[in-house]
Amino acid sequence: FVVLTAAASSLNSTLYSTGRHLFQIAKETPNSKVMKALKLDTLSRNGIPSRAIIVSAIVVCVSAFINVLPGVSDAFALITASSSGVYIAIYILIMVAHLKYRKSPDFMADGYLMPHYRFLNPLTMLFFAFVFVTLFLQESTFVGAIGSAIWIIGFGIYSQWKFRK
Protein backbone atom coordinates (compact mmCIF):
# COMPACT_ATOMS: atom_id res chain seq x y z
CA PHE A 1 0.00 0.00 0.00
CA VAL A 2 2.80 2.40 0.93
CA VAL A 3 4.70 1.70 -2.30
CA LEU A 4 1.58 2.11 -4.43
CA THR A 5 0.67 5.36 -2.66
CA ALA A 6 4.20 6.69 -3.18
CA ALA A 7 4.13 5.67 -6.85
CA ALA A 8 0.73 7.32 -7.36
CA SER A 9 1.95 10.48 -5.65
CA SER A 10 5.07 10.54 -7.80
CA LEU A 11 3.03 10.03 -10.96
CA ASN A 12 0.65 12.81 -9.94
CA SER A 13 3.56 15.18 -9.34
CA THR A 14 5.18 14.18 -12.63
CA LEU A 15 1.98 14.72 -14.61
CA TYR A 16 1.43 18.12 -13.04
CA SER A 17 4.99 19.35 -13.56
CA THR A 18 5.32 17.99 -17.11
CA GLY A 19 1.95 19.51 -17.97
CA ARG A 20 3.12 22.90 -16.70
CA HIS A 21 6.43 22.57 -18.57
CA LEU A 22 4.66 21.56 -21.78
CA PHE A 23 2.29 24.52 -21.39
CA GLN A 24 5.23 26.90 -20.88
CA ILE A 25 7.07 25.50 -23.90
CA ALA A 26 3.91 25.94 -25.99
CA LYS A 27 3.61 29.55 -24.78
CA GLU A 28 7.25 30.33 -25.55
CA THR A 29 7.21 28.68 -29.00
CA PRO A 30 4.72 30.81 -30.91
CA ASN A 31 5.42 29.31 -34.34
CA SER A 32 5.04 25.65 -33.34
CA LYS A 33 2.23 24.17 -35.44
CA VAL A 34 1.99 21.04 -33.30
CA MET A 35 1.62 22.99 -30.06
CA LYS A 36 -1.01 25.26 -31.61
CA ALA A 37 -2.91 22.38 -33.20
CA LEU A 38 -3.16 20.60 -29.85
CA LYS A 39 -3.91 23.93 -28.09
CA LEU A 40 -1.28 23.16 -25.46
CA ASP A 41 -0.86 26.87 -24.75
CA THR A 42 -4.36 27.28 -23.30
CA LEU A 43 -5.59 27.06 -19.72
CA SER A 44 -8.89 25.69 -18.48
CA ARG A 45 -11.42 27.90 -16.68
CA ASN A 46 -9.66 27.04 -13.41
CA GLY A 47 -6.24 28.11 -14.70
CA ILE A 48 -4.97 24.56 -15.23
CA PRO A 49 -3.09 23.52 -18.38
CA SER A 50 -5.44 20.56 -18.78
CA ARG A 51 -4.62 19.81 -22.43
CA ALA A 52 -0.89 19.70 -21.68
CA ILE A 53 -1.52 17.44 -18.68
CA ILE A 54 -3.65 15.11 -20.83
CA VAL A 55 -0.88 14.90 -23.45
CA SER A 56 1.60 14.12 -20.65
CA ALA A 57 -0.71 11.39 -19.34
CA ILE A 58 -0.99 9.88 -22.83
CA VAL A 59 2.81 9.76 -23.08
CA VAL A 60 2.97 8.02 -19.68
CA CYS A 61 0.36 5.48 -20.82
CA VAL A 62 2.22 4.80 -24.06
CA SER A 63 5.48 4.37 -22.16
CA ALA A 64 3.91 1.57 -20.15
CA PHE A 65 3.75 -0.48 -23.35
CA ILE A 66 7.51 -0.30 -23.95
CA ASN A 67 7.88 -3.63 -22.11
CA VAL A 68 6.03 -5.46 -24.89
CA LEU A 69 8.33 -4.22 -27.65
CA PRO A 70 10.53 -6.95 -29.08
CA GLY A 71 14.14 -6.64 -27.96
CA VAL A 72 13.30 -4.63 -24.84
CA SER A 73 13.82 -6.85 -21.83
CA ASP A 74 13.74 -4.16 -19.16
CA ALA A 75 11.78 -0.99 -19.88
CA PHE A 76 12.83 0.61 -16.60
CA ALA A 77 16.53 0.22 -17.44
CA LEU A 78 15.92 1.53 -20.98
CA ILE A 79 14.13 4.68 -19.82
CA THR A 80 16.50 5.25 -16.92
CA ALA A 81 19.61 4.90 -19.07
CA SER A 82 18.17 7.18 -21.76
CA SER A 83 17.21 9.91 -19.34
CA SER A 84 20.42 9.51 -17.33
CA GLY A 85 22.53 10.07 -20.42
CA VAL A 86 20.62 13.25 -21.26
CA TYR A 87 20.79 14.51 -17.66
CA ILE A 88 24.52 13.84 -17.58
CA ALA A 89 24.96 15.89 -20.76
CA ILE A 90 22.93 18.72 -19.21
CA TYR A 91 25.08 18.72 -16.07
CA ILE A 92 28.26 18.71 -18.16
CA LEU A 93 26.92 21.73 -20.06
CA ILE A 94 26.16 23.43 -16.74
CA MET A 95 29.78 22.87 -15.67
CA VAL A 96 31.02 24.29 -19.00
CA ALA A 97 28.74 27.33 -18.59
CA HIS A 98 29.97 27.81 -15.03
CA LEU A 99 33.60 27.72 -16.13
CA LYS A 100 32.94 30.25 -18.90
CA TYR A 101 30.95 32.48 -16.57
CA ARG A 102 33.65 32.49 -13.89
CA LYS A 103 36.22 33.52 -16.52
CA SER A 104 34.01 36.18 -18.14
CA PRO A 105 34.06 39.91 -17.34
CA ASP A 106 30.36 39.62 -16.38
CA PHE A 107 31.17 37.46 -13.35
CA MET A 108 29.82 38.82 -10.06
CA ALA A 109 31.36 37.36 -6.93
CA ASP A 110 28.25 37.32 -4.75
CA GLY A 111 26.57 34.40 -3.05
CA TYR A 112 28.06 30.92 -2.91
CA LEU A 113 31.21 30.44 -4.95
CA MET A 114 32.35 26.98 -5.92
CA PRO A 115 35.74 26.48 -4.25
CA HIS A 116 38.65 25.45 -6.48
CA TYR A 117 36.43 25.64 -9.56
CA ARG A 118 39.38 25.49 -11.97
CA PHE A 119 40.16 22.01 -10.66
CA LEU A 120 36.72 20.79 -9.55
CA ASN A 121 34.76 21.72 -12.69
CA PRO A 122 36.89 19.57 -15.03
CA LEU A 123 36.98 16.83 -12.39
CA THR A 124 33.19 16.89 -12.18
CA MET A 125 32.93 16.74 -15.98
CA LEU A 126 35.30 13.77 -16.05
CA PHE A 127 33.20 12.01 -13.41
CA PHE A 128 30.01 12.59 -15.42
CA ALA A 129 31.73 11.35 -18.58
CA PHE A 130 32.86 8.24 -16.67
CA VAL A 131 29.29 7.57 -15.51
CA PHE A 132 28.02 8.04 -19.07
CA VAL A 133 30.60 5.58 -20.44
CA THR A 134 29.57 3.00 -17.80
CA LEU A 135 26.05 3.05 -19.25
CA PHE A 136 27.51 1.41 -22.37
CA LEU A 137 29.11 -1.41 -20.36
CA GLN A 138 25.98 -3.12 -19.07
CA GLU A 139 23.65 -4.99 -21.39
CA SER A 140 20.47 -3.61 -19.80
CA THR A 141 21.54 0.04 -20.20
CA PHE A 142 23.36 -0.19 -23.54
CA VAL A 143 20.35 0.52 -25.77
CA GLY A 144 19.30 3.47 -23.60
CA ALA A 145 22.83 4.87 -23.68
CA ILE A 146 22.87 4.62 -27.48
CA GLY A 147 19.49 6.38 -27.61
CA SER A 148 20.65 9.19 -25.34
CA ALA A 149 23.87 9.59 -27.34
CA ILE A 150 21.86 9.87 -30.57
CA TRP A 151 19.53 12.39 -28.91
CA ILE A 152 22.43 14.48 -27.58
CA ILE A 153 24.23 14.52 -30.93
CA GLY A 154 21.03 15.20 -32.88
CA PHE A 155 19.93 17.98 -30.56
CA GLY A 156 23.43 19.47 -30.62
CA ILE A 157 23.47 19.52 -34.42
CA TYR A 158 19.97 20.99 -34.51
CA SER A 159 20.91 23.67 -31.94
CA GLN A 160 24.00 24.64 -33.89
CA TRP A 161 21.97 24.89 -37.09
CA LYS A 162 19.07 26.77 -35.47
CA PHE A 163 21.01 29.29 -33.40
CA ARG A 164 23.95 29.94 -35.72
CA LYS A 165 21.72 32.10 -37.93
Instruction: Report the pLDDT value the prediction gives residue 165, as an integer from 0 to 100.
Output: 67
Cα–Cα distances (Å) from 12 to 6, 57, 60, 87, in that order, read: 10, 10, 11, 22
Residue 1's pLDDT band, with cuts at 50, 70 and 90, is confident
Residue 127 to residue 129: CA distance in whole angstroms? 5
User: pLDDT confidence of 146, banded at 50, 70, 90?
Assistant: very high
Lowest mean pLDDT among 30-44, 48-62, 80-94, 150-164: 30-44
Encode burial over 72-111: b for 16+ CB neighbours within 10 A, e otherwise.
eebbebbeebbebbbebbeebeebeeebeeeeeeeeeeee
Does residue 42 surpass a pLDDT of 80? yes
Residue 60 above 90 pLDDT?
A: no
Average pLDDT along the chain: 86
Task: Output the pLDDT for position 104.
Answer: 86
HEC sequence for 82-149: HHHHHHHHHHHHHHHHHHHHHHCCCCCCCCCCCCCHHHHHHHHHHHHHHHHHHHCCCHHHHHHHHHHH
